[in-house]
Amino acid sequence: MDLDHPLALVTPTIDGDVLALLARTEEEFTPGEIQQQLGYASVQGIRNVLARLVTQGIVVQERVRGVLVFSICSEHLATPYLQALAHLADELADRVSDQMARWLPPPRFACLSQRRPVPPDRPATRGRGAPRRSPTPECLQLLIVPPDDLAKSLRPAWTAGVKDLQRRVTEWTGTKLVVRQLDVAGLTRSFYDGEEFLDQSINEGRVLFGRREFLELVRLGRSTEDDQRRLLEAAL
């Protein structure tokens, strides 16, 4: 399951991404604004999608100050179900957070992201250079900073909790969950080694435990590992 494109579960076409965008909000969008939000496809392609969805009644078309804008039809029978699908990422984050909150003690920090394969450089074909949708994720990634005071007697239960969470997430999403546990010192070393896992957590991750400032400090970086470690400790 691709959390960034949740309606790909039922349709692999751009129609799903357009519906997901509209279902997450009550705002109105022009075709150009939708293209900017999606980051791929052509404006004309999006116009064609919107025209099909308007005929189904799920999308409403209005003219505002001479400009055509589009929004989800709140009264359509399908709208609640589309909204639920569009918010699958939120549902997953809530479930994962709830499971980790039961661990004794809970993590100091946790961040959920997706790992995508790096697509090869592809030249534009037949003169069409519209951006492509990002490739399907290989797996889900969970970066965890365990508590410093994790007693030896609690480690078996903690390990069992991690394995149980991995099993549950795979059942919930059909996608493997890779868990990486690092203390602050290990996270600092990974940051300076430029590990891809950490880069994707910083760029795409959703914070489940701890403070967003923690990732911002990792993103910012510092001149020495000791400086970085002190800043990360302060943010947790």
Per-residue burial over 78-115, b if 16 or more Cβ lie within 10 Å, else e, is ebeebbebbbbbeebbeebbebbeebeebbbbbbbbbb
Asked if domains 6-84 and 88-115+128-235 share a fold, the reply is no
Lowest mean pLDDT among 78-87, 101-110, 198-207, 208-217: 208-217
Q: For 36-85, write each residue's pLDDT tens digit.
A: 999 999 999 999 999 999 999 999 999 999 999 999 999 999 999 999 99
**pLDDT number for residue 230:** 66
Q: Please tell me which residue, 50 or 220, carries the higher pLDDT value.
A: 50
Q: What's the pTM value of the predicted model, to 2 decimals?
A: 0.82
**pLDDT number for residue 140:** 95
Segments making up each domain of the chain, as ranges: 6-84, 88-115+128-235
The one-letter amino acid at 174:
G
Give the pair of three-digit tokens for residue 186. Answer: 């290990």
Q: For 11-30, write each residue's pLDDT tens digit.
A: 989 999 999 999 999 999 99
CATH topology of domain 88-115+128-235: Beta Polymerase; domain 2 (3.30.460)
Rounded to the nearest 5°, which phi and psi values hold at 12?
-85, 0
CATH topology of domain 6-84: Arc Repressor Mutant, subunit A (1.10.10)
Percentages helix, strand, coil for the chain (3-state, rounded to 5) are 50, 15, 35
- H or E stretch covering 161: helix 155-173
**pLDDT number for residue 117:** 75
pLDDT of residue 124 exceeding 60, the answer is no
